[in-house]
A and B are shown apart, each in its own frame.
Chain A
Amino acid sequence: MRCCPASIRLLLTSVTALVVAGGAVPLQAQSTRGAFETMTIHVGGATNFNRTAFHRFWQPGQGGDVTIQTPFYAGQVETGLALHQYAAATDDVPAFDAMQMHVGWSLPVTLSPRLQWQTGFRLGNYYMRFGDAVQNGHVGCDLGGIKRCGDDAATIGGDSESEFFMGLHTRLQVRMAPTWSVHTGAYLMNAYTHERIRLVYFSAGISYTVQTPDWLQVFLR
């Protein structure tokens, strides 16, 4: 039987460890009162620092991301958006922009009253737009070996593409004021295109924490 690639095995092993830990200390035993009590908005910039075969064709530019994070029944959940730009490294390929939409989970560890370290995973959709290439006639309507004109463009994606991604992230957060923090960290993104796009980003930014309104807490719980 064929099994999964190393990245999926790694993720599964991580999830397994968390599930086993969850089974040993059932989540039910934890109070649900803490869940969704606060919301933290992280805003930051990101820059890619690893090198793969992908970089022969594209050079990642600066990126930015916005993430909203809240305590969950165990750990924290988050949802967010990240924007990435990729410049063409050769004349044969177009530049493209990408938007990463994700949900994630992380386990926070308090290192000191002002210092918190979070590690977790994200998964979601990686949406890529190659508008310039089609207009410039690089591949016309035949993107991907499949006709993509007219109705087909609408049904398959035309000059855009979206793909599932999974990743790991880690963040070190330093509280500067009761509601304000600065953070720095890194995340690994693995977009599951036929040739995987595996990028590691360094990120830094600021975070703002607020009390979740009661009505929203009730809704979320």
Chain B
Amino acid sequence: MRHTALGLLAAGLLAAGVGHAQPSPSPGRPGVQVLRADDLARAGLVRLSDLFALLDGWYALSTDGFSWRASAGGLAPAHTARWQLYVDGHRVDATVLDVQNLNLVPLHPSQLDSVVVHHVPTVIDGRLAGAGVIHLYSHRPDGLAARAGMMLGNEIDDPGPYAFTDPDARNVDRVGPGYVASLGYGTATAGVEATYRQDYQHVTRRPLWDRVFGVYGRPHPLNRVMQQSLGVQAYATGSRSRHRLQVGYTRFRDYRFLDPLGFEIATDHRTPFAGGHGTLALGRATTLSYRVGYRRERLGEWKNRVDHTFDWVEGRGHASVALRYRRGVLASTSTLGLDRRVVRTGRASFGTARLHTGHLAQEVEVRQPSGLLLRGAVIGLLQAREAGLEALAVAHVPVAARRQVRLTVSHSDRPAADPDRLGYWLYRGYQVPWAERTAITPAPSLSRPRTTTLDLTGSYAPGGGWLIEAGPAWRSFAGGLDAVYTFGFVDPDDIFRGRTLGTAVYRSHLRGQVWRGHVAVTHRTAVWRRHLAYAWQRHTAADAAAVAGWAGQPEHLLRVHIGYDPVPRFSLNARLQVQSATAWPGYAAADAATDGVYPDRLPPYALLDLSAWKAFGGGVLEVMLLLRNALNAPYRTHPAAPETRLTFFVQAQLRL
């Protein structure tokens, strides 16, 4: 009975609408998912991190609902968040403490023209993107273009007037408000656009509040996650070349949950960034392309109960040059690149850590007129004093008129993630408030991470607006994906109010295999947009570190997205996600820090989002109402996160 409404809704939405005009979807490439502007504008997205819910087989975890760690198709543990992010061709490091945070990009989902997502390993810019890629493409301004928008979300279960009758009643999160404003001017050959985005997430939930209170002794006056991003993009296209530049600045004030510690540390990041990329035709068959980028993340000062201040900066830069030559069916690309990371702390005892990684890649591509595509790449790495080798092979075979098969094999044998203890320095930089109380022991040795993946994906487009994709995949992990740190809390009395966290050993020497299979069915008509994706994933022969690494990635994940567009400027959307229970070993610290409230296993849950979108004035004004978690199923994506309940969003955008 309790699922009757859900079943009726799904059945009704799936059954209705047959018989309309049926434009065929683009055949797509197996292993690559493309989200179009229409899907994005109407799908009930209020932040870029909401995209994760639309990506087949991606898992995303969060403790505060703002910062999400994601994993694509079992290619990496979610906590490492090794997937790569590109925005309009720029390689973007929207990272905080080494973890990509999609919400720091100065873009709103409605500004996106399309999103291209790689669920399987690929090579971009001469680098093996072995853990998935999200590439955001924004709308180009057409003439003078301006935009302003805001969103606000309200999660239920506030005490309301009962705060006066129940002294223990607590407020719960308010999401936002979030603002976006952009101004640009563009033609077919050149343009510039500036976007400013600001967002808030109020940290009022008791678990977070208690942990932060325990560390800082009192709630910080600005008890909210705050993000401000300003980005300026410019592009120019000539007859033989095209170039893109970006500069920007992000400020992010966060309560960052550190897994090894089991509690949050308030952080204040200021990150200027700049980058550029372009191509230049050197001849009829030869093209030179370049890509450069730099960002500098500075941890700002933060007053806390022990009155320490942070002084920590990470600089991260990359540069690469590629020469592409095409003759007949053969294309060759040679890439030379360098990545540089430097962590500096102001304290002499901490010093500076540097990591340089050079790579030389050779790609060869054979593309037959029949559609057969063979692609191979070999990448040599030189990092500090060690060398590594990565390889990728792709066979894209059209087996029939509407059927394609893609086989992707990749192997990565990299130098140890941070031979110079970069992660150690990262974490130690954050350890300043506990410097006198905390003993940090870096790992005695770090093993080389060796990863092998195999993905077989087939797609079938039978016509009538249908597209079906399915296939198995296998991954093998041997060697440490993470550095190892031992945290010992020797004097927890006042900070943790008498609780002793003891010593926690972080993940090490991750070893195991992941098996998975997925099927995705898309059906588009003039009125309906329907997408169903199911993924099954299981790890085997896993050691304790691997079990901890794959924690939070459920064995079964089902996503259904249904959009109904009865008229061009009105849309109803439903999005359903069902996932099985997940285990969470290794989070005893979080459990202890929250009085044992959080179990070591998260129950299964079903989430249903319902949204209505309406455009007024020919698209000048867009309004969206969204009920997130309409079933009000209490769920959490991380044991240290609070339960999330029904949330009501209002979003409006004005475009001129």
Assess the A194–B17 pair: CB atoms within 8 A.
no
Query: Does B634 touch A at the CB level, under 8 Å?
Result: yes
Q: A23-B15, A193-B160 are in contact. Are A4 and B221 (CB under 8 A)?
A: no
Query: Does A192 touch B at the CB level, under 8 Å?
Result: yes
Assess the B12–A146 pair: CB atoms within 8 A.
no
A172 to B476, CA, bound (A): 67
Q: A16-B5, A19-B572, A23-B17 are in contact. Are A3 and B633 (CB under 8 A)?
A: yes
Q: Which residue, A2, A96, A130, has most C-beta atoms of chain B within 10 A?
A: A2
Main SS of the interface on chain A? Answer: mixed
Query: Count of A residues near B, CB < 8 Å?
Result: 64
Query: Does A131 touch B at the CB level, under 8 Å?
Result: no
Assess the A93–B164 pair: CB atoms within 8 A.
yes
Assess the B171–A156 pair: CB atoms within 8 A.
yes
Q: A19-B13, A164-B156 are in contact. Are A9 and B2 (CB under 8 A)?
A: yes
Query: Count of B residues near A, CB < 8 Å?
Result: 68
Chain B 327-343, CB-CB to A under 8 Å as 1, else 0, gives: 00000000000000000
Choose one: B3, B6, B156; the contact of A163 (CB below 8 Å).
Answer: B156
Choose one: B202, B219, B566, B617; the contact of A73 (CB below 8 Å).
Answer: B566
A175 to B20, CA, bound (A): 39
A144 to B160, CA, bound (A): 8
Which residues 150-197 of A have a CB within 8 angstroms of B?
150-152, 155-157, 161-164, 191-195, 197
A34 CB to nearest B CB, Å: 12
A19 to B569, CA, bound (A): 18
Query: Does B33 touch A at the CB level, under 8 Å?
Result: no
Choose one: B165, B202, B222, B564; the contact of A57 (CB below 8 Å).
Answer: B165
Query: Does A83 touch B at the CB level, under 8 Å?
Result: no
B207 CB to nearest A CB, Å: 13
Chain A residues near B174: list those with CB within 8 A: 156
Chain B 124-160, CB-CB to A under 8 Å as 1, else 0, gives: 0000000000000000000000000000001111111
Choose one: A32, A103, A197; the contact of B625 (CB below 8 Å).
Answer: A103
Binds A, one of B95-103, B266-274, B541-549, B599-607: B599-607
Assess the B13–A15 pair: CB atoms within 8 A.
no
Chain A residues near B12: list those with CB within 8 A: 16, 19-20, 23
Choose one: A8, A15, A26, A151; the contact of B527 (CB below 8 Å).
Answer: A26
B3 CB to nearest A CB, Å: 6
Q: A1-B604, A156-B171 are in contact. Are A146 and B2 (CB under 8 A)?
A: no
A2 to B169, CA, bound (A): 23
A103 to B647, CA, bound (A): 16
A1 to B204, CA, bound (A): 26
Q: A2-B634, A73-B567, A125-B154 are in contact. Are A139 and B164 (CB under 8 A)?
A: yes
Q: Which residue, A24, A30, A164, has most C-beta atoms of chain B within 10 A?
A: A164
Choose one: B222, B633, B647; the contact of A151 (CB below 8 Å).
Answer: B222
Assess the A161–B160 pair: CB atoms within 8 A.
yes
Which residues 1-52 of B have a CB within 8 angstroms of A?
2-6, 8-9, 11-13, 15-17, 20
Query: Does A220 touch B at the CB level, under 8 Å?
Result: yes
Query: Does A133 touch B at the CB level, under 8 Å?
Result: yes
Chain A residues near B616: list those with CB within 8 A: 219-220
Assess the B156–A19 pair: CB atoms within 8 A.
no
Chain B residue nearest to A146 in the complex (CB)? B171
Chain B residues near A144: list those with CB within 8 A: 158-159, 163, 169-171
Choose one: A5, A28, A194; the contact of B158 (CB below 8 Å).
Answer: A194
A197 to B157, CA, bound (A): 11
Query: Does B630 touch A at the CB level, under 8 Å?
Result: yes
Assess the B605–A1 pair: CB atoms within 8 A.
yes
Which residues 1-58 of A have a CB within 8 angstroms of B?
1-5, 8-9, 12-13, 15-17, 19-20, 22-24, 26-28, 30, 32, 57-58
Interface contacts beyond A1-B606, A130-B164, A139-B163: sample of 4 additional A-B pairs, CB < 8 Å, sorted by A: A12-B630, A23-B15, A146-B170, A152-B221
A-B contact pairs, 7 of them (CB 8 A): A1-B578, A12-B631, A138-B164, A156-B174, A161-B163, A163-B160, A164-B154
- B residues with CB within 8 A of A: 2-6, 8-9, 11-13, 15-17, 20, 154-171, 174, 202, 204, 209, 219, 221-224, 526-527, 564, 566-567, 569-570, 572, 578, 603-606, 610, 616-617, 620, 625, 627, 630-634, 646-648
